Structure 1
Amino acid sequence: MAGIPTLPDIQGLTSELAEAARYRNNPAGYMIERLKAQLKIFQRKISDDAEVGIMVAGNAGTFHLRQISVSNPDMLIFDGIDQDGRTMQLFQHHSQLSVMLVEVPKIEDQPYRIGFTT
């Protein structure tokens, strides 16, 4: 019969709906996935003598980025080190995300690269 969805069609639709609900219920999780993709691209562009730094819009400070994590449903957490070696942590609501990735001189023998396991 034409027009009646098959079981694979229904399963695919169910999967799409579940994914849409996951993004709607955890927007910070969705945002971190997008940030990871952009970070990977950015890291490919910088030299071996540099690493990724982050600058928050409206703030003159820059720090060496070490990790990005999420506190669902709405918060992104940026961990890093400033120029003086102090540990830094930035909390940013997903709806107000405005960060700039910048190339900064490495602070150790090997440049730090952000890696993602997921």
Structure 2
Amino acid sequence: MDDKIMTAAEAVEADALPRIYEAHSDPDQESATKIELPESLSDKPMAGKSPAQWAYERTILYLKNFEEKLDAEHEVAMGFTGGDAGVLRIEGMGYFDPDIVTFYGTDPAGSRTQLVQHVSQLNVMFRALPKAVEGKAAKRIGFRLVQQLEQEQKKTA
């Protein structure tokens, strides 16, 4: 608690804005709390977004943050939790209101793969895999997804 005095409107707005907190054992480890939130995440109160939209938007931010730490030889993929389904190289992501998030991509053998998951069961483990095509630049899906969020926000503004 702090001694900052807020108007009722400021208090309601502060309660509706997303918050993020992390702690790491290594003090030099960069935290996702330094992520600059795109306006599209804070332009609409949390109560106005479905669980699927919230899960989608926040996962994109973590995805982009993870990609920022990769070298030029690696791309982001996700490992499946709770089973032996393997790994999916993330090539797309979406949501279906009110409660479904989906990931599109390929597995290590190059087979098309899609994960459809209820937000209450969402577990995403990002993994760094060597880039798919040698000699080409590593793909950065997180950056494209953040750009799309920002473009959508401009359309609705």
Q: Name the SS for the 2:45 alignment partner.
A: helix
Structure 2 Cα separation of the partners of residues 20 and 51 of structure 1 = 31
Residue identity (%): 31
Larger radius of gyration: 1
SS of structure 2 residue aligned to 1:65:
strand
1:45 maps to 2:59: no
Structure 1 runs (4+) greater than 3 angstroms displaced: none
1:70 maps to which of 95, 119, 123: 95
TM-score, normalization: structure 2? 0.61
Q: Which residue of 2 aligns with 1:80?
A: 105
Q: Give 1:29's match in structure 2, choosing from 53, 59, 63.
A: 53
- Structure 1 49/20 Cα, relative in aligned 2: closer, same or farther at 3 Å? closer
Higher RCO, Cα 8 Å, sep 6+: 1
- Find the aligned partners of 1:21 and 1:46 in 2 and give their Cα distance: 34
Q: Tell me the number of residue pairs that the alignment of Structure 1 and Structure 2 aligns.
A: 106
Hey, what does 1:90 align to over in structure 2? Answer: 115
The DSSP-based 3-state class of the residue aligned with 2:125 is: strand
Q: Which runs of 5+ in 2 are unaligned?
A: 1-6, 17-43, 150-157
Which one-letter code corresponds to 2:139 in the other structure? Y
Partner of 2:93, secondary structure, is: strand
